[in-house]
Amino acid sequence: TLEVPPRIDEAARLANEVLQRNPNHIEGIILRASVLSAQNKPAEEILAEINRAVSLDPKRIESYLSLARFYVTRNEMGKAEETFRRAIQINEGSALAHTQFGRFLSQMNRAGKAEAEMRRAVEAEPQNRDSRHALANLYLSTRQFEKAEESYKALAELDRNRMDGRAVLADYYATVNRLDEAIQIYNEILTKSPDYLRGRYRMGEIMLERGDLAAAAAQAEMVLKKQENDRQALILRARVRLQMGMHKDAIKDLDEVLKQEPDSRSGLYFMAEAKMRAGQIEQARNLVGELDRRYPEYLPGKLMRMQVNFAAKDPKTVLALSNELLGKLSQTTPDMETSPQLLADTRAKALTARGLAQLQLGNAAAARQDLTMARDQAPNSPAAYVNLARVELKEGKTEEAIQMYERGLAIDTVNYDALNGLVNIYVRQSRAAEAHARLDQAISSQPSNKDALATLHYLKAQIYVSEKNPSSAEAALRHALDNNPNYLAAYFALGALFANASQQDRAIAEYRRVIERKPDDVTAYTLIGMLEDTRGNYDAAAENYRKALQLDQSTAIAANNLAWIYAAYGKGNLDEAQKLSQGVVQKYPDEAGFVDTLGWVFYKKGLHLAAIEQL
């Protein structure tokens, strides 16, 4: 069928070579039509090529499907449907024609007729994997889970003696969040075939989805022991490291991936995420722009682009991008790369992004509309209710927000965002006892889930802090760390607790524990610098600020404070102080403290007029 080729120049060259050898080569003509379409050539020119292909062999089904696809891209759905029916009339037994027509009908939201066509495809060619896959995907996208499971089982049965066959069923279970069943199948596959690399990758991804980072990392390491630069394993390990907050190590893995394959779609995608999480927003923006340029049809890349712009505090751009994506989705047909489920999930996420952007821009009514539609598309997502709770809070409807948080918790009893939102409301309303009771209920429901227990005790500590009960807060944070010694938020909270009590040594010790577990943590070095600063240990403060800046040159507080130490206490070069301070003020010209530092640097350098301008 008529598809946009991924590399237009290469496709054009290939089409020309084929047609020079044989001007009537039908597939070459169709490829040239695809190139013309990608180049936005006039519709008449593209149509002439396809009609020529049809005329050369009026019985060739594929040419009619290309013509139908052309009409779809022109939004001429009536002509597209008529052309699909012509293809079927030529060969009623063509699984390809019935499958493609079924996908078209699915795009037109005619699920019943789509199912009928896809069933005809399976009946015509029971061994046709593409047809069975299309039918299974249709059931999945229309939430007919029993039929979907039976269809995936039938698909797996076709290749029951091949590893990939059983993996199809495991992947279905993973998609519908039946992770234990997916893991069981992959365990059986890998027990028989331990060198089945795709199984290792998928097992790792499923473990990652379940939150078992150690098990996910183990799958990556098993592959890397045998093939130290395996790209898929490096990407998996990078994803694990991102979840663990090890951004620098993740970036190192992804650098190797992109060194081997500069066009790697997954490499670009996860590198953009890694840069974003590391606070390198402009680099992340450049990467998602490059990803979108190279892979304009890649839907997850468009969602990542929105995420990066949220991180850049640019809701206007998110609004524009989400409108563009939702428009594109309305014209996108499911295919082998873009399943109906992916389209539905992407639509829900695009609606969520647009709703949250509207909320940040102060348009609560528009936000409610989008976030309600997103919830209706994913009614079993706790995040959907958390987002609607934010709308209620924006409109001052506290009790309605509580109800939304509770609906999210009915789906996931330990959902952090929902519990955190609920606790914050109770604390603001001086209802600490209710907040404690709600968390105690969640704790009792998860006696063996150590990661969940860590976050729950962390939230308990926040309530104790609001009650001005530091000893109980400390005890709760110790409980959190007993359950998860790598829960960095608890160390930061302990550090803040001790700093507020003027126990600088104890606070610094907690921040050092963060650095032991995450050597590239910029915030920990900055906070240690600030504590040393407050007690007059300027050499130690400067050393920690410098370490923070070595890790991330854009760390404004570290740069500002280091410039102040250089200027006020003679601990460094004044030219360097000026460079640091000017860099900060260029980014934050309205921040009075930063401007004052620059003024003081100018004063110390004898640049009194410049100093007066700043002060």
pLDDT in tens, 80-122: 999 899 989 999 999 999 999 998 898 888 889 999 999 999 9
| Domain that residue 538 falls in | 494-614
pLDDT greater than 50 at residue 450 = yes
Three-class SS of 150-219: HHHHHHHHHCCCCHHHHHHHHHHHHHCCCHHHHHHHHHHHHHHCCCCHHHHHHHHHHHHHHCCHHHHHHH
Residue 362 lies in a domain: no
Whether residue 508 is predicted with pLDDT greater than 70 in this model: the reply is yes
- The stretch 47-66 carries a mean pLDDT of 82
Q: Which two tokens stand for residue 185?
A: 């199948």
Identity of the residue numbered 548: A
Within a domain: 28: yes
Last residue of a domain, one of 59, 91, 123: 91
CATH number at residue 593: 1.25.40.10
Query: 100 is written with which tokens?
Result: 């493609």
The rounded distance, in Å, linking the Cα atoms of 493 and 402 is 26
**Domain assignment of residue 231, yes or no:** no
Q: How many domains does the chain have?
A: 2
Confidence of residue 614 (pLDDT cuts 50, 70, 90): low
Does pLDDT of 7 surpass 70? Answer: no
Query: pLDDT, tens digit, for every residue of 351-400?
Result: 999 999 999 999 999 999 999 999 998 888 899 999 999 999 999 999 99
- Per this entry, what is the length of the chain? 615
Res. 600 pLDDT band, cuts 50 70 90: confident
Residue 568 included in any domain: yes
Nearest to 585 by CA among 570, 612, 563: 563
pLDDT at position 585 is 83
pLDDT given at position 336:
52
Question: Which of 62, 91, 120 marks a domain boundary?
Answer: 91
Residue 381 to residue 154: CA distance in whole angstroms: 29
Please identify, among 91, 107, 130, the residue that sits at the C-terminal boundary of a domain.
91
Its pTM surpasses 0.85:
no
Q: At what angle do helices 8-21 and 26-38 cross, to 10 degrees?
A: 150
- pLDDT the model gives residue 579: 86
Q: What is the pLDDT of residue 212?
A: 84
Name the band, by pLDDT with cuts 50, 70 and 90, for residue 475. very high
Asked if residue 158 belongs to a domain, the reply is no
Largest Cα span, the chain = 90
Residue 4 clears pLDDT 50, i.e. is over it? no
pLDDT in tens, 283-327: 999 999 999 999 988 899 999 999 999 999 999 999 999 999 999
What HEC string does 395-448 produce?
Answer: CCCHHHHHHHHHHHHHHCCCCHHHHHHHHHHHHHCCCHHHHHHHHHHHHHCCCC
261: helix, strand or coil: coil
Q: Is 458 domain-assigned?
A: no
- Alpha helices, DSSP H, located in 467-503: 470-483, 488-500
137 is a domain residue = no
Average pLDDT, the chain: 88
In a domain, 103, yes or no: no
Model pLDDT, residue 257: 94
pLDDT value at 610 more than 60: no
Residue 216 has pLDDT above 60, yes or no: yes
The pLDDT of 576-599, averaged and rounded, is: 82
